[in-house]
Structure 1
Amino acid sequence: MSAHAGSSVLFDAPGPRARVRNGLITAVTVFVVVVIGWVVITRLQAKGQLTAAKWEPFLTANLWKTYVLPGVQGTLTAAAASIVLALALGFVLGVGRLSTHAGIRWVASVFVEFFRAVPVLIMMLFAYFLYANYDVFPSKHLALAGVITGLTLYNGAVIAEIVRAGVHALPRGQAEASSALGLTWGQTMRIVLLPQAVTSMLPVLISQLVVVLKDTAIGYQITFVEMVRQGTVVGSSYGNYIPALIVIAILMISVNFTLSWFATWLERRLRRSRRAPAPLEADAVEQEGAPGAKVV
């Protein structure tokens, strides 16, 4: 098969008229975006939001130490703790939904469906006031605990569905071959299915973890110190909302880009280490075809 034929498997290759039409649409779109960007920048300059004086505060160490870095620390702390806890909870619930015991499946399903349906902000508020009323955490850690709780419960439920879908996407022969080799359900899940499913689930998992990082910004509703909140504080203190939000956006994009890059690198590494994922099936076939093998 030629490269051209292989590239048009999913769609018909555009003809001459379609290529001209697509080129015109692209040119018009780029022109409109440039015009809108020019108008926005012109108006911001007219209001003095992009002058050098508005950017000068970011050249001082005091602004970064007082406002920006505490926000970065809060965001990364909440995101890291929530990611670890959500991954652990999600894998437990995902495996629970795949359990052979009806009771475990029912409990895991109710938990997942309930917390997927509740907005993250509601869970943060509920956890915050619950912890405050019962003095579960010191007052200075209440907001952090509320954010971590909300993000963990919601994203744990979402990750559970990702795990379940990833395991179901594997060929049925994997589980059947494991059963034929005498492995229990737990051994099959732990040794055979989950390691293979993780590789295929990794892009979706990382996308969800990026969502966790971004959703830390919702914590400003319970006075949590995070990057976006600190950006608005900087804008209010120095009268430079646009530069402050641009700087915060660049920081958020940088962190998300780094996480996505790491996910891509890890996925490639895992795929290279499992280039031959079918030894179990081959062994099963050999055993089934061996002399004296029992044919069902």
Structure 2
Amino acid sequence: MTSTTLTAEPKPARERPRSAERVSVLYDVPGPKARLRNTVLTVLVVLVALFAVYAMVSKLDEKNQLDAALWTPFLRGDVWVNLILPGLLNTLSAALVAAVIAVPFGFVFGIARLSEHSWIRVPAGAVVEVFRAIPLLMMIFAVMYGGSAVFGLTVTPFTAVVTGLVLYNGSVLAEIVRSGIQSVPRGQSEAALAIGLRKGQVMRMILLPQAVTAMMPAIVAQLVVLLKDTALGFIVSFEDLLNAGARVLPSNFNNIIPAVMVIAVVYIIINLIVGALATWLERRSRRSRRTAARPVAPADSVAAPGAPGGVAAPGMPGGVATGDD
């Protein structure tokens, strides 16, 4: 009784190139002269930046804008609780409400622009192009004053700001969604249709999961723009963070330049947090999809005589060898 078992030979592990040996195909590796030139230019740029900072600080000191009396109000808790935090909460509230509405708006109109039905595609394209072309501030004015003049409605600054943000940023997000879906190779949707999936299933199961990962950086960038655009509510007396820094604080302490600088730092911190959160979500989504999509291989693949290594004989369970008595 003889038994023959063929197993697949393990492939040698591919060695990862060392960092010093990595060569980019997009540009030539700089030589000694180029590295020296880059170093010199870097040092010069740093020196120019330091000189600019020194000149700005010196000018502020010359104009008495660094006096302690102008900056000490920001060390008081009541200033933050009563003046700055209410504006910050209004800014975050407007940005959050606008983002919650603008993102679905963008997905709906972005997908509608890809519809094969002209009665869906053409109106969706018209809406997106019109609201992308109109300046955001003009839309805020139109909602704020047009609502009362035409329809007799009382429109609050919060409503005007959120409506303008939704219409403008939602239209931009619609273009991001459309381009993200179109970036997925066409062969994937054709293969899905060939195996019997409906167009809605192809969009939901094949295109959107891949497109979201590709779109995430652009979506995050647009949400940061949305957050900063809330400052336009300052024009219609929206009590946001900029209003606190440019109106409320200077009227109490006569420190408009320090106030604007502090408010700018707050905006920077908020945007950094939003960007970090989006990066974390993107990495987590990629990791979860990669883990879910990893195929589970059998522990031991056995082949029949004459069959390719690692392939079991037809009709035999994997891992069972055939033999001749």
What is the CA–CA distance in structure 1 between the aligned matches of 2:214 and 2:48, rounded to whole Å? 39
Where does structure 1 differ by over 4 angstroms across 4 or more consecutive aligned residues? 276-279
Q: Which amino acid aligns with 2:108?
A: V
Higher alpha-carbon Rg: 2
What is the CA–CA distance in structure 2 between the aligned matches of 1:130 and 1:98, rounded to whole Å? 33
Pair 1:5–1:160, CA change in 2 (3 A): farther
Please state if 1:74 is matched with 2:90: yes
Q: How far did 1:209 drift?
A: 0.2
In the other structure, the counterpart of 1:23 is 39
* Deviation readout 1:55-95 (Å, 9 max, x if unpaired): 11112233223321121011101100110111011000001
Q: Which amino acid aligns with 1:207?
A: A
Aligned to 2:36, what secondary structure does the other structure show? helix
Please state if 1:271 is matched with 2:306: no
In the other structure, the counterpart of 1:208 is 222
* Deviation readout 1:224-265 (Å, 9 max, x if unpaired): 111112101213431212221121111111111110000110
What is the CA–CA distance in structure 1 between the aligned matches of 2:254 and 2:30, rounded to whole Å? 51
Residue correspondence of structure 1 range 238-249 to structure 2 within 5 A:
238-249=253-264
Residue correspondence of structure 1 range 92-111 to structure 2 within 5 A:
92-111=108-127
Please state if 1:127 is matched with 2:179: no
What is the CA–CA distance in structure 2 between the aligned matches of 1:19 and 1:8, rounded to whole Å? 16
In the other structure, the counterpart of 2:183 is 169
What is the CA–CA distance in structure 1 between the aligned matches of 2:39 and 2:83, rounded to whole Å? 46
* Deviation readout 1:121-156 (Å, 9 max, x if unpaired): 01110011123333445x5xx111111111100111
Aligned to 2:28, what secondary structure does the other structure show? coil
Q: 2:277 aligns with which of 259, 262, 280?
A: 262
Q: 1:230 aligns with which of 218, 241, 244?
A: 244
Q: Which moved more, 1:25-34 or 1:232-241?
A: 232-241
In the other structure, the counterpart of 1:191 is 205
Q: Which moved more, 1:179-188 or 1:67-76?
A: 179-188
In the other structure, the counterpart of 1:85 is 101
Aligned to 1:274, what secondary structure does the other structure show? helix
Q: Which amino acid aligns with 2:97?
A: A
* Deviation readout 1:20-39 (Å, 9 max, x if unpaired): 11111111111111111111
Q: Looking at secondary structure, tell me which structure has more helix per residue.
A: 1
Q: Which amino acid aligns with 1:187?
A: Q
Aligned to 1:12, what secondary structure does the other structure show? coil
In the other structure, the counterpart of 1:250 is 265
In angstroms, what is the RMSD of aligned CA positions? 1.7
TM-score (norm 1): 0.88
In the other structure, the counterpart of 2:169 is 155
Q: Which moved more, 1:61-70 or 1:242-251?
A: 61-70
Q: Which consecutive unaligned segments of at least 5 residues does structure 2 have?
A: 1-16, 295-325
What is the CA–CA distance in structure 1 between the aligned matches of 2:274 and 2:80, rounded to whole Å? 23
Residue correspondence of structure 1 range 27-66 to structure 2 within 5 A:
27-66=43-82
RCO higher in structure (CA 8 A, sep ≥6): 2
Aligned to 2:25, what secondary structure does the other structure show? coil
Q: Which amino acid aligns with 2:29?
A: A
Please state if 1:6 is matched with 2:22: yes
Q: Which consecutive unaligned segments of at least 5 residues does structure 1 have?
A: 280-296
Q: Which amino acid aligns with 1:206?
A: V
* Deviation readout 1:263-288 (Å, 9 max, x if unpaired): 11000001011127879xxxxxxxxx
What is the CA–CA distance in structure 2 between the aligned matches of 1:136 and 1:170, rounded to whole Å? 45
Q: Which amino acid aligns with 2:192?
A: S
Aligned to 2:290, what secondary structure does the other structure show? coil
Aligned to 1:275, what secondary structure does the other structure show? helix
What percentage of aligned pairs have identical amino acids?
A: 45
Aligned residue pairs, count: 276
